[in-house]
Amino acid sequence: MPPNQQITELTLPLFDDFHLHLRAGNALKRTVSDASFWARRAIVMPNLQPPVDNFDLADNYRADIIKNIPAGRNFEALMTLYLSENIKTDTVKQAKERGIFAIKWYPKGATTNSEQGISSVQACYPIFAEMEKRGVPLLIHGEVTDTDIDIFEREAVFIDRVLIPLRRDFPALQITLEHITTARAVEYLLSIPEAEKTAATITPQHLLFNRNQLLVGGIKPHFYCLPILKCETDRKALLQAATSGNPRFFLGTDSAPHAQHKKENSCGCAGCYSAWNAPALYAQAFEEAGALDKLENFACKFGADFYDIATENYERVLKISREENTIPANLDYAEDKLIPLFAENKLNWQIKKN
Ligand code: DOR
Ligand code: ZN
């Protein structure tokens, strides 16, 4: 590949998004259309209201997603179950044959719609044991929720207090630490022996921005997500990890739409909507690191290898071109408006939209 500055267009296979919120109902028109433009598969998060914590809910949700795939597109929704008290070891036993790809654990109170999550890791041990036995991946929102722990420390404390013991107790459990945000998480991932199946997803916002973007010059709710943006040292560590070619780190946007009025609110919701143009956002970050040549494996291969799903070529390819453009101020979102991540700002890259 030529040096970064000389690359004017990237032609890549469609991406896999290994962490995506599509929401439900009328929202699906926007979210499925946007994501399926550039993603051929996505792991779909189950934090709906009520949570997707049984097979019927997952089947209905999948059917609703499929109805919203624009004609001519090939998009596979990899369905997850929400680890609530309704998940039993029997659920885990049947999960694979019922088309469930993974189980997501939201510690109770950690983020959007996590009220039905489980707060005690010990209470989940029988479930984790069954998942380990059956090869069902565990996706983790890795933050403690103790009120005495500073919001900027919640991921690091989770790693030390919860994840390290969990990893030790279930050495064969496949674990993805979702949307990592800290140098500590990177260091942890790098410390794990290769035989242990542990990986991490990284979002575009955590590669591009630090907490100044959120807090300096006025509070910017559209940069608020959880885990919250951290400091520049953390961002640099994430960028280094994502562009290092280490297969433990792969793409998961955590694109998480909330209507404009729910974000611009005295108690605004957490989540950044990146599904509009996520590949362009990632290209911007990889370009900054001088590593555009590392984007393809991060976006199209490492995650698929980790989950042992095929990486065969699809007919459609994605073109990301070097073309200065401004991200729209807002998007239609059912009856509301949605503000995309980095709205009204310029990017050097654009994905070709049909
Ligand atoms: O910012 C976030 N938004 N983080 C999450 O963990 C959940 C997500 C959402 O569903 O809104
Ligand atoms: Zn998420």
Residue 256 DSSP SS3: coil
Output the ligand 1 site: residues, CB below 6 A.
Answer: 21, 47, 111-112, 141, 225-226, 256, 270-271
How many CA atoms lie less than 13 Å away from 47 in the CB half-sphere?
Answer: 27
Q: Are 114 and 47 in contact (CB under 8 A)?
A: yes
Q: Quick one: DSSP state of residue 35?
A: H
Residue nearest to atom 7 of ligand 1 (CA): 112
Cα(167) to centroid(ligand 1), Å: 24
Mutate which of 17, 19, 20, 21 for ligand 1 pocket (most atoms within 8 A of beta carbon): 21
Q: Are 97 and 74 in contact (CB under 8 A)?
A: no
pLDDT tens for each residue of 290-329: 999 999 999 999 999 999 998 876 667 899 999 999 999 9
**Residue 353: per-residue pLDDT:** 67
Of the ranges 164-178, 193-207, 305-319, which one carries the lowest mean pLDDT score? 305-319
Q: Which pair of tokens denotes residue 142?
A: 């890795």
Residue nearest to atom 4 of ligand 1 (CA): 226
Q: Are 186 and 233 in contact (CB under 8 A)?
A: no
Contacts of 98 (CB under 8 A, 6+ apart): 55, 58, 59
Ligand 1 atom at shortest distance from the alpha carbon of 178: 6
Contacts of 313 (CB under 8 A, 6+ apart): 13
- Kindly state the average pLDDT of the residues 158-163: 97
Cα(254) to centroid(ligand 2), Å: 4
Ligand 1 atom at shortest distance from the alpha carbon of 110: 6
Residue 219 has pLDDT above 90, yes or no: yes
> How far does the chain reach from its first CA to its final CA, in angstroms?
27
pLDDT tens for each residue of 90-139: 999 999 999 999 999 999 888 889 889 988 899 999 999 999 999 999 99
Residue 354 has pLDDT above 60, yes or no: no
Helices (H), 54-143: 55-67, 89-95, 125-134
Residue nearest to atom 3 of ligand 1 (CA): 271
Cα(180) to centroid(ligand 1), Å: 13
Ligand 1 atom at shortest distance from the alpha carbon of 45: 10
Q: Are 206 and 240 in contact (CB under 8 A)?
A: no
Catalytic residues: 254
Contacts of 246 (CB under 8 A, 6+ apart): 190
Residue 178 has pLDDT above 80, yes or no: yes
Domain locations in the chain as residue ranges: 4-353
What's the one-letter identity of residue 148?
D
What's the one-letter identity of residue 306?
F
**Residue 1: per-residue pLDDT:** 60
- Kindly state the average pLDDT of the residues 335-342: 97
Cα(4) to centroid(ligand 2), Å: 31
What's the one-letter identity of residue 243?
T
DSSP tally for the chain: helices H, then strands E:
14, 13
How many CA atoms lie less than 13 Å away from 323 in the CB half-sphere?
Answer: 10
Starting from the CA of residue 43, give the closest ligand: 2
H or E stretch at 177: strand 175-177
Q: Are 254 and 43 in contact (CB under 8 A)?
A: no
Measuring CA to CA, how many Å separate 290 from each of 34, 111, 180, 197, 269? Answer: 27, 34, 21, 29, 34
Ligand 1 atom at shortest distance from the alpha carbon of 258: 11
Contacts of 2 (CB under 8 A, 6+ apart): none
The correct CATH number of 4-353 out of 3.20.20.140, 3.90.1300.10, 3.40.50.1820, 3.20.20.70 is 3.20.20.140
Cα(327) to centroid(ligand 2), Å: 22
Measuring CA to CA, how many Å separate 69 from each of 63, 311, 325? Answer: 10, 21, 26
